[in-house]
């Protein structure tokens, strides 16, 4: 049973280009979370998705960032017109279906290190 997979592991982009980060959740998991870890800072929540739905995107920057989790295929975090300040490690995590009022352990992927030149 493969864990959470992210690709690419390392991504280099020049300012103004687009970055696409992919996350395949663990088998049977229908919830995906994206987190960002800026250099020398802690992890910050970005967005929480279920299949075909964005549940909470309160941590996403208002511009240039978008996320999706289609019915088929991986979850995608897309950053348009990247700037140097976007350089960070982006982690996704997945969890199985939630029942109302319960918490679930989140399983993290290895992360994508984005470097913007």
Task: Work out how close the CB of 40 gets to other proteins at its nearest, in angstroms, rounded to a whole number.
Answer: 10
Tokens 């208002």, residue? 62
Q: Which residues bind other proteins (CB under 8 A)?
A: 33, 35, 41-45, 48, 55-56, 58-59, 91, 93, 98, 101, 103-111
Closer to other proteins by Cβ: residue 17 or 115:
115
Among residues 38 and 83, whose Cβ is nearest to other proteins? 38
Residue 79: strand pairing partners: 19, 65
Is 9 within 8 Å of 110 (Cβ atoms)? yes
Smallest separation (angstroms) from other proteins to the CB of 115: 14
DSSP 86-108: G-EEEEEEEE-PPPTT-----EE
Q: Name which of 66 and 110 has its Cβ closer to other proteins.
A: 110
């Amino acid at each position: 049973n493969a864990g959470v997979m992210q690709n690419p592991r390392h991504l280099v982009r020049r300012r103004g280009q687009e970055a696409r980060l992919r996350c395949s959740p663990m088998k049977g998991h229908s919830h995906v979370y994206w987190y960002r870890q800026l250099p020398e800072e802690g992890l910050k929540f970005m967005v929480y998705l279920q299949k075909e739905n964005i549940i909470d995107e309160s941590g996403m920057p208002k511009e240039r960032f978008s996320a999706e989790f289609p019915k088929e295929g991986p979850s995608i975090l897309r950053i348009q017109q990247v700037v140097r300040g976007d350089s960070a490690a982006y982690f996704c995590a997945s969890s199985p279906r939630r029942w109302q009022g319960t918490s679930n352990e989140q399983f993290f992927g290895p992360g994508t290190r984005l470097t913007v030149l």
